Amino acid sequence: MAQLLKGAPVVAAMNEKNAARCAALAARGITPTLAVVRVGQREDDLAYEKGVLARCGKVGVAVRPFVLPAEATQAQLLEALAGVNADRTIHGCLLFRPLPAGMDDRTIRAALAPEKDVDGITDGSLAGVFTGTGEGFAPCTAQACMEILDYYGIPLEGKRVVVVGRSLVVGKPAAMLLDRKNATVTLCNSRTQNLPALCREADVLVVAMGKRGFIGADCIRPGQVVVDVGIHVNEEGKLCGDVRFAEAEPLAGAITPVPGGVGTVTTSVLVEHVVDAAQRASEKE
């Protein structure tokens, strides 16, 4: 029976801290404020936005929506971002992606002021993650993995960590954040040979492939810590991860559930970043 690394207590602890920091900023007349920039009405975006709004409201972060019609042009989106950049009462910006066809992702990302990039999508943030200099913000999901490991006191220094999946949203930044904790990190990809044996070498296994149920018992060493970043809907309409939980849980020492694990923590990280951004902006003035 593995220890369940649930997101809820991590979120509760983060909420408490974020609320206290918001109150301290409010006392100085500052309301940490998040711009949410969305093009169209994609269902995924709306669901995530709803979660963000609720979480922000709970701790005292204001949200300013910028909603463009699905047929908006790139120029209109750039104009919206310029407005966000120029507005000193806005501290962070969440831009929903993927962008509609016809918009250039790189151009749009480059248009956001790095200091407001609380979701880690600009080059400035990615360079900061890579160099460890603390510039910008790490992608929220990658950092959510770290918050869970930290909350549950999972040792990382000197430990073997295997990260399966190398996206810029999770795998690669998670590898860098883990390296910063002095873990020995192996970054796997779809061409990796003998993946199960390699996974079993890990003290901590972080799975972020985006392939439903890809990781099974053959990849798990008894006692291992397993962090499952995947989120999918199975044939029965239930949420599940990249890891086959029923196989992994009896073997693992600790494991994040899906739902109720990493995904739960992501919006709290976003909120924390908005508070950080407001704090940093206030220190510059």
Q: Which residues are annotated as a binding site?
A: 165-167, 231
Query: Rounded CA gap, 140 and 63, in Å?
Result: 17
Q: Does 170 bind a copy of itself (CB under 8 A)?
A: no
Largest CA distance in the chain: 56
Q: Does 168 bind a copy of itself (CB under 8 A)?
A: yes
Q: Of residues 160, 200, 211, 212, which one binds a copy of itself by CB under 8 A?
A: 160
Q: Does 200 bind a copy of itself (CB under 8 A)?
A: no
Closest approach of a copy of itself to the CB of residue 95, in Å? 17
Stretch that binds a copy of itself, among 35-43, 79-87, 187-195, 257-265 (CB under 8 A): 187-195
Q: Does 182 bind a copy of itself (CB under 8 A)?
A: yes
* CA-to-CA separations, 277 to 21, 37, 246, in angstroms, rounded: 12, 17, 40
Contact code string over 114-133 relative to a copy of itself, x by CB under 8 A: ---------xx-xxxxxx-x
Within 13 A of 103's CA, how many CA atoms are on the CB side? 21
Q: Does 107 bind a copy of itself (CB under 8 A)?
A: no
Question: Any idea which residue has 């480059």 for tokens?
Answer: 110
* CA-to-CA separations, 275 to 113, 123, 137, 168, in angstroms, rounded: 16, 21, 12, 23
> What residues pair up with 254 in beta bridges, in sequence order?
3, 225
The residues that touch a copy of itself, with contacts defined as CB under 8 A, are 106, 123-124, 126-131, 133, 135, 157-160, 166, 168, 172, 175-176, 179, 182, 184-189, 191-193, 198
